[in-house]
Chains A and B, each alone.
Chain A
Amino acid sequence: GNSVTQMEGPVTLSEEAFLTINCTYTATGYPSLFWYVQYPGEGLQLLLKATKADDKGSNKGFEATYRKETTSFHLEKGSVQVSDSAVYFCALLSGGSYIPTFGRGTSLIVHP
């Protein structure tokens, strides 16, 4: 079956540090890949997505590249801000399914 594995958190960084949150997946076929962000007290929001190998999704300074050879979709940002503190979820949607598979989430804490 499908699965998504994310690095355990919390990830704690100082403002302006470089961020990487690892995500690897197992899926049948050629899934679409997503990153969602959940700010405190809110629902999940779609952050970025990629639908085929080598695609790069980007939004708000975050980037992730769909690497089929390593089955990975790592989230990166060059310079984090305090306002980026949130929980980040990696997810996949396998062809023909309505139901995405979510990772367990990685908490990011950014200190001034």
Chain B
Amino acid sequence: NAGVTQTPKFQVLKTGQSMTLQCAQDMNHNSMYWYRQDPGMGLRLIYYSASEGTTDKGEVPNGYNVSRLNKREFSLRLESAAPSQTSVYFCASSEADRGAYGYTFGSGTRLTVV
């Protein structure tokens, strides 16, 4: 049972480059989320998708775009990377009942923008 799988695990980008972080879940969850984690800041929500076909902005959406490709996959794209986007990115998913049973997180992507 893989749960939530994120790729890549590590990435170094130059300022201005673009990339897509991939996330897939095999638990048939309806809702998926992208967070970033920075020292002293805890977790901050970037975007979420309550169900297939819908996406909404979270707390810190600027500089990011997302695509809910299907029920399993939810990708995060950085169109023009900036050093301020250096962070650890986590994808998560939850069941249709709005997360009352908790979230399942991936193991993260550590991104460095130089």
The distance from the CB of B45 to the nearest CB of chain A, in whole angstroms, is 6
Residues of A within 8 A of B112 (CB): none
Contact B31 A44 (CB under 8 A): no
Judge whether A83 is part of the interface by a CB distance below 8 angstroms: no
Given contacts A99-B48, A99-B58, contact A46 B42 (CB under 8 A): no
Query: Total interface residues on B, using CB and 8 Å?
Result: 25
Contact B43 A89 (CB under 8 A): yes
Given contacts A43-B108, A44-B90, A99-B48, contact A104 B42 (CB under 8 A): yes
Q: Which of A93, A97, A98, A102 contacts B42 (CB 8 A)?
A: A102
Interface positions of B from 71 to 114, Cβ below 8 Å from A: 90, 92, 94, 98-108
Q: Which of A32, A41, A42, A102 contacts B43 (CB 8 A)?
A: A102
Q: Is the interface of A mostly helix, strand, loop or mixed?
A: loop
Given contacts A43-B108, A44-B103, contact A104 B48 (CB under 8 A): no
The distance from the CB of A29 to the nearest CB of chain B, in whole angstroms, is 13
Contact A43 B105 (CB under 8 A): yes
* Chain A 46-64 near chain B by CB (<8 Å), digits 1 or 0: 1001010000000000000
Contact A96 B102 (CB under 8 A): no
Contact A34 B102 (CB under 8 A): yes
Q: Which of B33, B90, B98, B104 contacts A93 (CB 8 A)?
A: B98
The distance from the CB of B23 to the nearest CB of chain A, in whole angstroms, is 11
The distance from the CB of A21 to the nearest CB of chain B, in whole angstroms, is 14
Judge whether B66 is part of the interface by a CB distance below 8 angstroms: no
Residues of A within 8 A of B101 (CB): 49
The distance from the CB of A39 to the nearest CB of chain B, in whole angstroms, is 10
Judge whether B41 is part of the interface by a CB distance below 8 angstroms: yes
The distance from the CB of B77 to the nearest CB of chain A, in whole angstroms, is 20
The distance from the CB of A69 to the nearest CB of chain B, in whole angstroms, is 23
Residue of B nearest to A48 (CB): B102
